[in-house]
Amino acid sequence: MYTTPTSATEGPASGPTLKRVLGLPSLVAFGLTSMGILSVVAVYGAGTEISDGHLPAAYMAALVAMLFTAHSYGQMARHVPVTGGAYAYASRAFGKPVGFMVGWAMMLDYLFLPMVNFLLFGLYLNSLLPGIPPQLAVLACLLVVGLFSVIGVAWIKKMNFAGVTASVLVILVFVVLAVLNAPDLTFGNVIRPLTLGDGGIAPVMAAAAIVAFAFLGFDGVSTLSEEARNPKRDVPRGIILSTLFAGLGYTLFSVAGSLIAPEWRSLENLDAAGTELMQRAGGDVLMVVFVLVNLGGLVLCGTAAQMSVSRVIYAMGRDRILPGALAKLNERFRTPYVAALLVSAVSLVALFITLEQAVYMINFGALIAFAVVNLATIKVLFFDLRKRGPKGILRNLVLPLLGFASIAWLWTSLAWFTYLLGAVWLAVGLAILVARRRKAGGRLDLTFDDGTPDGEAAQPSEVAGSR
């Protein structure tokens, strides 16, 4: 029978452990940083065009869809309060081999998400200071993020608060200036982008499938369970609140954008719609401030992504499904520094690929992880733990099923090239899994470091504090 740690301070392994320093505000800030509050500008032009000017409605639809999956992450984080996120949840629901494949797929997301931030950093800095080559800026950002990842959450949480505060202030200033400078401020113009247009629901839902990827990163909060002071309570809340706040921020920004540019076709460059909107609302000063804050946000977002993937790799190394050296912790900072340095080494690929190629790689892994976590919630809570009362049916069956359905819908928006790259990545992971099984004499060590066998269901009485 598998069990989970019975207290917030109980670790899953003997010896050095991750440092428990994070409270709820820090977890929410980490989630918001992982998603990147100002990432709304990256898809503003494309989302507005696809939705025919109804981007806020698309964000509301995407928020509802993401909240279903965020709920499943929260439920699993409450009952499986260990680091590893989707990897840990899938392992306990369906066995370690399935967990490894989910974690491997998730790494496709987490390994390339920092690279996207590095590449964006290079592009933005080059636009502000043309004399600095983008690749040099990418390398500088990569090195800074690598250092921050080793320093760990105890130090980075303060930077996250500063980054989130600065990003929120930029959005609020933009909203106020957009209202003051709106060419035609009426209640109807405020409400219009939140409703369906002449094209009905189809354009809004098509845009929602695109902008939903702005929420990628909320799941990173689940990888910090062993660094949270009260993981069973605060990690689920951190996941839900960060997703909700990000969605509301995205919606507010897009409403303000529709006020300052009510006719979206008037935007000169849809790819750079964010900077154009800032300039229309507050002139060059606001535009430059936005670029500077966005540069800082990209560094912190890259750090959050790299910290998340290093903890997944750390968990796999601790479980001996990857080499055990990856589970080494820095003596001073108690962070998985070997895993973090490995991610930095892999991220050097960002010097040789384009932004479009990096984005292609992200979506596949994230959606696999999201889908499996919804299914794991049903398996563990509804079937294994038999939480089937009226609230249990809603929380542990209906909502996860809706979450799985929403992820299945998002799958339809992926490009064919994404499926091809994802299939190759999974094939490599399967080869590694087979090799590890052969080295272990035909099977993996199916006992987790918390001493609990893999693949067995816990009884309700065995999960302390569950509800």
pLDDT in tens, 241-271: 999 999 999 999 999 999 998 888 888 877 7
Asked, for residue 16, whether it belongs to a domain, the answer is no
If 0-12 CB within 10 Å is exposed, 13-18 middle and 19+ buried, where does residue 29 land? buried
Asked, for residue 6, whether it belongs to a domain, the answer is no
pLDDT in tens, 97-130: 999 999 899 888 878 888 988 998 988 888 788 8
Q: What is the CATH number of the domain that holds 216?
A: 1.20.1740.10
Asked, for residue 115, whether it belongs to a domain, the answer is yes
- Angle between helix 86-94 and 96-128 (nearest 10): 170
The pLDDT of residue 448 is above 80 = no
In degrees rounded to 5, what are phi and psi of residue 22?
Answer: -100, 130
Asked, for residue 3, whether it belongs to a domain, the answer is no
pLDDT in tens, 342-401: 999 999 999 998 877 777 677 788 889 999 999 999 999 999 999 999 999 999 999 999
* Percent of the chain predicted with pLDDT > 70: 90
Q: What is the pTM of this model?
A: 0.84
The pLDDT of residue 63 is above 90 = yes
Domains of the chain: total: 1
The pLDDT of residue 201 is above 90 = no
Q: Match 């098509």 to its residue by tokens.
A: 206
- pLDDT band for position 153 (50/70/90)? confident
* Chain mean pLDDT for the chain: 85
Q: If DSSP codes are grouped into helix, strand and coil, which group holds residue 200?
A: strand
pLDDT in tens, 211-227: 887 898 899 899 899 99
Q: CA dihedral defined by 371, 373, 375, 380, rounded to 10 degrees?
A: 180
Asked, for residue 7, whether it belongs to a domain, the answer is no
pLDDT in tens, 224-233: 999 999 999 9
- pLDDT band for position 406 (50/70/90)? very high
pLDDT at 430: 93
Asked, for residue 5, whether it belongs to a domain, the answer is no
Residue-range definition of the domain harbouring residue 161: 24-462
215 membership: H or E segment, kind and range: none
Tell me how far apart the alpha carbons of residues 238 and 231 are, in angstroms, rounded to a whole number: 10
Long-range contact list for 166-170, CB < 8 A, 24+ apart? 166/293, 166/296, 166/297, 167/32, 167/37, 167/38, 167/293, 167/297, 168/37, 168/249, 170/38, 170/286, 170/289, 170/290, 170/293
pLDDT at 452: 42
pLDDT at 417: 78
- pLDDT band for position 18 (50/70/90)? confident
pLDDT at 28: 95
pLDDT at 257: 93
Q: How far, in Å, are 246, 267, 431 from residue 256 at the CA level?
A: 15, 14, 50
Asked, for residue 4, whether it belongs to a domain, the answer is no
Asked, for residue 60, whether it belongs to a domain, the answer is yes
The pLDDT of residue 170 is above 90 = yes
Q: CA dihedral defined by 306, 309, 311, 314, rounded to 10 degrees?
A: -120
The pLDDT of residue 410 is above 50 = yes
pLDDT at 342: 93
- pLDDT band for position 14 (50/70/90)? low
Of 180 and 272, the one with more pLDDT: 180
pLDDT at 353: 85
pLDDT at 331: 84
The pLDDT of residue 89 is above 80 = yes
pLDDT in tens, 263-307: 888 888 777 788 889 999 999 999 999 999 999 999 999 998 898
